[in-house]
């Protein structure tokens, strides 16, 4: 999983059908907001480029990445959303807190998608330091927010 070798914003056009009428919920972590704000910007711009309407993109905030799965669940259980995108940034600290948060968030987000049978995208950076995160939030390694938006679009096109 060498994402540093790949621009995260590159993608193939396979499964990218029309999302004009699709409704997207975005859950954003307020922790490391310099990074998550850039991810959000990338996600919204990409959804609009893909044909989504601004009025169909709703943004909700949670305090930290640990709260993303519950935020995603609040949105996923609401029939009006076709897909949910979770955006967060967890940076390694001196304790094992990082591991617990990353594991819980990844598993939690995965569970919500499986439970509600709709795309719930893991747009969470898990990095050693702030610079690595900035590099992936509009820096030299692209913007994982854009990649998360493309993932949602592709998964909505899965059955087409």
Q: Footprint of ligand DLZ on this chain (CB under 6 A)?
A: 29, 31-32, 63-67, 88-91, 93, 97, 101
Residue of closest CB approach to ligand DLZ = 64
> How far, CA to CA in Å, does 33 sit from each of 28, 53, 152?
9, 25, 22
Centroid of chain to Cα 28 = 8
Q: Cβ closer to ligand DLZ: 56 or 65?
A: 65
Provide, rounded to whole angstroms, the least separation between the CB of residue 36 and ligand DLZ. 8
Q: Cβ closer to ligand DLZ: 27 or 83?
A: 27
Q: State the residue for tokens 């859950």.
A: 27
Q: Cβ closer to ligand DLZ: 63 or 103?
A: 63
Provide, rounded to whole angstroms, the least separation between the CB of residue 107 and ligand DLZ. 14
Strands (E), 24-65: 24-29, 57-62
Q: Which of 153, 144, 142 is closest to 14 using CA atoms?
A: 153
Provide, rounded to whole angstroms, the least separation between the CB of residue 81 and ligand DLZ. 22
**Pairing outcome for strands 120-127 and 83-91:** parallel
Q: Cβ closer to ligand DLZ: 60 or 97?
A: 97
Neighbours of 2 (CB within 10 A): 5
Give CA–CA dist 76/115, Å, rounded.
Answer: 9
Provide, rounded to whole angstroms, the least separation between the CB of residue 103 and ligand DLZ. 12
**Catalytically active residues, by annotation:** 97
């Amino acid at each position: 999983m060498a994402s540093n070798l790949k621009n995260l914003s590159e993608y193939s056009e396979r499964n990218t059908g029309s999302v004009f009428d699709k409704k997207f919920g975005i859950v954003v972590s307020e922790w490391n907001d310099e990074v998550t704000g850039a991810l959000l910007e990338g996600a919204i711009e990409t959804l609009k480029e893909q044909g989504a309407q601004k009025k169909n993109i709703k943004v909700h905030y949670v305090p930290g990445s640990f709260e993303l799965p519950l935020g995603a669940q609040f949105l996923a259980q609401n029939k009006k959303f076709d897909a949910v995108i979770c955006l967060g940034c967890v940076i390694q600290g001196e304790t094992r807190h990082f591991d617990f948060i990353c594991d819980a968030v990844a598993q939690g987000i995965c569970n919500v998608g499986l439970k509600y049978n709709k795309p719930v995208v893991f747009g969470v950076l898990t990095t050693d330091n702030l610079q690595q995160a900035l590099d992936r939030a509009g820096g030299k390694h692209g913007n994982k927010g854009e990649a998360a938006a493309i993932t949602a679009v592709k998964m909505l096109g899965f059955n087409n």
